[in-house]
Chains A and B, each alone.
Chain A
Amino acid sequence: MEQTKIIDLKNISKSYNGETVLNDINLYIRDKEFVTLLGPSGCGKTTTLRIIGGFETPDTGDIYFDGVKINDVPPYKRNVNTVFQRYALFPHLNVFENVAFGLRVAKVKEKEIVKRVKETLELVNLKGFERRSVATLSGGQQQRVAIARALVNNPKVLLLDEPLAALDLKLRKDMQNELKALHERTGITFIYVTHDQEEALSMSDTIVVMANGKIQQIGTPTDIYNEPKNAFVADFIGESNILDGVMTEDFLAKFAGHEFKCLDKGFEKNEPVDIVVRPEDIDIVKAEEGMLKGTVTSVTFKGVHWEIIVDIQNFKWMIQTTDYCALGSVIGLSIDPDAIHVMKKSEYSDMFGAYSSYSDEFDELSVADSQPAEEVKEE
């Protein structure tokens, strides 16, 4: 299916005070697509969005909208609208006037303004809120006003900058579904920025994983999850066991002191690689039947499954299973060939160790991000 490129970023770089924020970004976005820019704080995703919105100009590189270069077009002349982080609603206007703002600026006829604002408020489930002051609304309602205020202008592209970050979990889930439904109903291209991998996986057509001002991987949610390109992506998306390994030959990977059959090929003989095994892809078997054998050092009940940590040669494996295993028992692990994903070594190879849980290392990474210039230059 060939769709037109609505937005095309070519070799975009940007730095603030000598610190590189974006390093040679190349990205195109197809019309009507739901694209998510995903990455830890400081990875450059918001800057990318602001460049598309026109609030930042790239130091080098060009940005095209519908094939036309728009580097120097100010925000008010771009056919995109933004849903801002923390909404930025106008406190001196009521809900109706906030939503009508863009239409009034465009000098749309009063009758049509009333009609379109009403329709859009209905679309975001805020019927009857027209006369309310925005200060009296809850976070979720303000969020809807912000979305309506952008959508009412019928933009070609809607930019959403962490729009759900300030909402509580339950509301966030509801809004995710609503946003996805809105995207389908309106047929507008959505570019969505978030650091929440789950949000990205459940909403997007395409995910762009970013770190340290560079794009790490572009792909569909299943691609990104099942075939991460490097240790960073594997760790950031979902939970994973990332191990040092060697490709002894095609379809044979050696790690954790054992040779496994796998589905990957095309590596050099004995090439060092990173191995990813997702915790839900590991089967627990009797100790003597397992490919690997180890002691259970931690068992946590997570509701849907048990989270078990198994110590094998000092590498702590995380396993998600519906079978209970007793603390201290010795169990065997069995890994199917299609559960093993082999990645080339990258600058991120040694950053993620045993049972890397998303949240812990997310914090560390954010700290590391405060001095990203070094790493970026190395490449």
Chain B
Amino acid sequence: MKRKTFLERAAAVPHIVWMILFIVAPLLFVIYFAFTDASGKFSFSNIVNLSNYGNIFLMSVLFAFLATVICLLLGYPLAFFMSRLKPSTQRAVVLLLMLPMWISLLIRTYSLLALLDNGGLLNSLLQALNLPTVKIVGTPGAVILGMVYDFLPYMVLPIYTTLSKLDIRLFEAAEDLGCNGVKTLFKVALPLSKSGIISGITMVFVPSISTFYISQKLGGGRFDLIGDTIERQFLMNNNKNVGAAISLVMMILILISVAVMNKFGDDDGGELIV
């Protein structure tokens, strides 16, 4: 193997410093706090007491799971449809899909709140039409809607990328061998875009399970998800030890789920974002 020149080594230094300061060090802090009590003594009590938060973990997983399933059901057909368009149209649709991603997630969530709030645009419109208003914000549906709205592009794009790289002749071959459109989708498109699906699921599930502002804003503060709990421990209860313990467990959960996903994707060596 070619030896790296001094310049090549030097070029990596800023990044390595950055990683140590903002990724490795905070991780070590999290581990340190998770295994100490308020006075700084080593203790397992934080971890042991996590059982109190079991319901929160369960609800977070459930919400993230539902959001991921809905994203997949909405996103896959969209990605499939996009991959079959003319190249010029494809570029336009991809741009449309990416546009919202250039806006901060926080702002997008606030906009959604402005639309759906009790005094928001939707309800004002309904009132103006003399129709009964609907209460959306503060329901579980609103939280999941927020997750789907915020993270849908992360599902569509990897699937679309995988599908658009597939040889069109594979679809023709399936048709030639007796598949109609639906059978072609299930027998050829789905198995061959598995790596894209797994990337998409990972990229939607992970941010969904750790979000806090979506549940705070759209859930009207009624749903405590893991993210909210961690935030509260650090910022309000000033109990960084419990917060760190929850963070640590969540991180491990995410790592396990990503590892499981990778296992599925391994067969065809698909491109995975971890």
Residues of A bordering B, CB below 8 Å: 53-55, 74-76, 80-82, 84-86, 88-92, 101-102, 105-106, 149-150, 153
Closest to B268 in A: A92
State the CA gap A90–B167 with chains docked (Å). Answer: 10
Segment among B78-86, B178-186, B248-256 that sits at the interface with chain A: B178-186
Is there contact, CB below 8 Å, between A90 and B170?
A: yes
Interface string of B157-172 (1 = CB under 8 A from A): 0000000000101101
Closest to B169 in A: A88
Partner of B180, one of A76, A81, A150: A76
Is there contact, CB below 8 Å, between A76 and B179?
A: yes
Segment among B18-26, B187-195, B224-232 that sits at the interface with chain A: B187-195
State the CA gap A74–B175 with chains docked (Å). Answer: 8
Closest to B177 in A: A102
B260: interface (CB < 8 Å): no
Is there contact, CB below 8 Å, between B178 and A84?
A: no
Partner of B173, one of A74, A90, A153: A90
State the CA gap A88–B167 with chains docked (Å). Answer: 8
In the bound complex, residues from chain B placing their C-beta under 8 Å from that of A153 are 177-178
Is there contact, CB below 8 Å, between B192 and A101?
A: no
How many Å from the CB of B170 to the closest CB on chain A? Answer: 5
Looking at chain B's contact residues, the main secondary structure is helix
Is there contact, CB below 8 Å, between B170 and A81?
A: no
State the CA gap A86–B187 with chains docked (Å). Answer: 20
5 residue pairs A–B, Cβ–Cβ below 8 Å: A74-B180, A75-B176, A105-B178, A149-B173, A153-B178
Is there contact, CB below 8 Å, between A88 and B178?
A: no
In the bound complex, residues from chain B placing their C-beta under 8 Å from that of A85 are 169
State the CA gap A246–B47 with chains docked (Å). Answer: 104
In the bound complex, residues from chain A placing their C-beta under 8 Å from that of B176 are 53, 75-76, 80-82, 84, 150
In the bound complex, residues from chain A placing their C-beta under 8 Å from that of B173 are 82, 84, 88-90, 149
How many Å from the CB of A149 to the closest CB on chain B? Answer: 7
State the CA gap A102–B172 with chains docked (Å). Answer: 13
State the CA gap A101–B176 with chains docked (Å). Answer: 11
Closest to B171 in A: A88
10 A-B pairs with the lowest CB-CB distances in the bound complex, closest first: A102-B177, A88-B169, A105-B178, A88-B173, A75-B175, A92-B191, A82-B176, A76-B178, A76-B175, A101-B177
State the CA gap A247–B74 with chains docked (Å). Answer: 74
State the CA gap A150–B167 with chains docked (Å). Answer: 18
In the bound complex, residues from chain A placing their C-beta under 8 Å from that of B169 are 84-86, 88
How many Å from the CB of B63 to the closest CB on chain A? Answer: 33
Contacts A55-B175, A75-B176, A76-B176 aside, 11 further interface pairs with beta carbons under 8 A come to A74-B180, A75-B175, A76-B177, A76-B179, A81-B177, A84-B176, A88-B172, A88-B173, A92-B192, A101-B177, A101-B187
Closest to A107 in B: B178
How many Å from the CB of A244 to the closest CB on chain B? Answer: 45
State the CA gap A55–B173 with chains docked (Å). Answer: 10
How many Å from the CB of B101 to the closest CB on chain A? Answer: 30
In the bound complex, residues from chain A placing their C-beta under 8 Å from that of B180 are 74, 76
In the bound complex, residues from chain A placing their C-beta under 8 Å from that of B188 are 90
Is there contact, CB below 8 Å, between B170 and A88?
A: yes
In the bound complex, residues from chain B placing their C-beta under 8 Å from that of A89 are 173
State the CA gap A53–B176 with chains docked (Å). Answer: 8
In the bound complex, residues from chain B placing their C-beta under 8 Å from that of A150 are 176-177
Is there contact, CB below 8 Å, between B177 and A149?
A: yes
Interface string of B84-111 (1 = CB under 8 A from A): 0000000000000000000000000000
In the bound complex, residues from chain B placing their C-beta under 8 Å from that of A80 are 176
State the CA gap A25–B188 with chains docked (Å). Answer: 34
Question: Which of B170, B174, B178, B188 neighbours the largest number of chain A CB atoms within 10 Å of its CB?
Answer: B178
State the CA gap A97–B65 with chains docked (Å). Answer: 33
State the CA gap A75–B268 with chains docked (Å). Answer: 29
In the bound complex, residues from chain A placing their C-beta under 8 Å from that of B191 are 92
Interface string of B61-85 (1 = CB under 8 A from A): 0000000000000000000000000
In the bound complex, residues from chain A placing their C-beta under 8 Å from that of B178 are 76, 102, 105-106, 153
Is there contact, CB below 8 Å, between A91 and B192?
A: yes
How many Å from the CB of B187 to the closest CB on chain A? Answer: 7
Partner of A105, one of B170, B183, B268: B183
In the bound complex, residues from chain B placing their C-beta under 8 Å from that of A75 are 172, 175-176
Is there contact, CB below 8 Å, between B172 and A105?
A: no
How many Å from the CB of B141 to the closest CB on chain A? Answer: 37
State the CA gap A90–B172 with chains docked (Å). Answer: 11
Partner of B179, one of A54, A88, A92, A105: A105
State the CA gap A81–B188 with chains docked (Å). Answer: 17
Is there contact, CB below 8 Å, between A55 and B172?
A: yes
